[in-house]
Structure 1
Amino acid sequence: MTSFQDSVLFRYFFFHWLFRDASVKELYQRSAAIAHNKANRHHLLAYLRRWIALTLLMYFAGIMLEQFNTMACVFFYTIAALCTCTIAKITVAWIFLGKHQL
């Protein structure tokens, strides 16, 4: 039986499985992990587009429910706010993985 973290839905929205941990003490392993992460940097743009689409969908669902004067719009606005945090995280990762070391 597979866990939720191995499912296609999880991998469609969360990108952590693409990258390696670069906090190891061994210099060669850390260098290899950083090179691997920089090579997979381009995938972050696809994840960024997915999260932006999900944020807009939740935001507009909140707007539509607000027109009917229901409190259910709070749920969708909260999800949109949490998605915005993930967009910021992806953007920062994309920027920093693109920087060259001096």
Structure 2
Amino acid sequence: MTTDKDSNEQSPELPFRSLLYRFLFFDWLFRDVGAAGTRLERHAAFQHNRRMSRYLPVYLRRWSFLTAFDFALGVLFEKVLQAGLLSAWFFTWSCVTLTGMLVITVAWLILTHARLS
């Protein structure tokens, strides 16, 4: 029988900020190909990144939800509550999250359809 102390030693929990960061941003999944020293290390890092690219649609789904949510809040504040400044805030964030969706899509397309030379 394991106690709570034993289970905490086996899998340390991340702080909420780190979990939230990992939930929204995907850079922690990938390795820096440019930092690799040899050709073999670059190839290994690139292959790792190609394998990790399978998680990018999950992040795309999360960011599309954020985009729709921010846009809906912008519409709510503009049409229903007549709060122009708050609606502009949420419309701006919907544009920012839409840009994040484009970055995720391009990264996914490059990693999944790249040809090795």
Q: Same fold (TM over 0.5)?
A: yes
Deviation per residue, 1:22-81 (Å, 9 max, x gap):
113410110000000001111000000000000000000000110122121011011101
The 2-side partners of 1:50 and 1:10 are apart by: 12
- Asked whether 1:95 is paired with 2:109, we answer yes
In structure 2, the residue matched to 1:75 is 89
Q: Which has the larger radius of gyration?
A: 2
Contiguous gaps of at least 5 residues in structure 2: 1-14
Amino acid at match of 2:38: E
TM-score of the aligned structures, taking structure 1 as reference length: 0.91
Count of residue pairs the alignment pairs up: 100
Which letter does structure 2 place at the counterpart of 1:63?
A: V
Which structure 1 residue ranges, 5 or more long, are not aligned? none
2:31 corresponding residue in structure 1: 20
**Secondary structure of 1:40's match?**
helix
Match of residue 10 from structure 2: none
- Stretch of structure 1 that moved more, 18-27 or 41-50: 18-27
1:4-19 pair list within 5 angstroms = 4=17, 7-19=18-30
Indicate the RMSD between aligned Cα atoms, in angstroms.
Answer: 1.6
Shift of 1:3: 9.4
User: Which residues of 2 match residues 61-72 of structure 1 at below 5 A?
Assistant: 61-67=73-79, 68-71=81-84, 72=86
Moved over 6 A (4+): none
